[in-house]
Amino acid sequence: MIAIIDYQAANLTSVATTLRKMGAEVRVVSQPEQLAAAERFVLPGVGAFDPAMRVLRQRGLDEALHELVIEQGRPILGICLGLHLFARSSEEGNEPGLGWIDAQVRRFRTDGRSNLKVPHIGWNDIRLRKPHPLVEGVPDGATVYFAHSYFVQCEREEDVLTTTHYGHDFASAIQVRNIVGIQFHPEKSHRLGKQLLGNFLGLAG
């Protein structure tokens, strides 16, 4: 069973629907005691960093996930804001993140001299930086759908799974042990998105 974590962010339903259409057993959960039966977790979301972290802590979901993901090694996938929550901190707010990856969340900068628009919305390509089962069968240069103003800046290059160029190269997917995160939206990325989600379903704990 896959537990999709409900922390009052948007976009949970579309991710759940996509996974169910792929044949996965999915439950949307919001309480720590509901997590134990899950084999893997998805932390999706469209929203703001501080409110999301406050809900995770107020409900005790942060501690429960730490036990299951960090201590027990169950796989977790963070999507967009869900990926940001894995980091130590974010320029979007003041709350500390989960701190599972050695990274900070930065905002795209515009200098007034370029046509760079924030948020970054639309289709863009991903460049593979290392092999991993999450991106198995995904061609280098494949296009996926983005909608974000912030990105994760990893301290360790080896944690970066794919990069994308938007004004500069940024990490569009990361992997640290059993923790994987993607900046783009697989539920909106058609065949490639389903390929990535299917790969996540097969990740070993």
From the list 25, 80, 132, 136, the catalytic residue is 80
From the list 84, 120, 148, 185, the catalytic residue is 185
Percent helix, strand and coil across the chain, each rounded to 5? Answer: 30, 30, 40
Which contiguous run of DSSP H or E holds residue 50?
A: helix 49-58
CA distances from 70 to 27, 136, 178 (A): 21, 24, 8
Residue 91 among the catalytic residues? no
CA dist., res. 105 & res. 93, Å (int): 10
CA dist., res. 59 & res. 161, Å (int): 31
From the list 39, 168, 187, 190, the catalytic residue is 187
Angle at which helix 12-21 crosses helix 190-201, to 10 degrees, equals 80
Residue 185 among the catalytic residues? yes
Residue 80 among the catalytic residues? yes
Would you name the residues annotated as active-site residues? 80, 185, 187
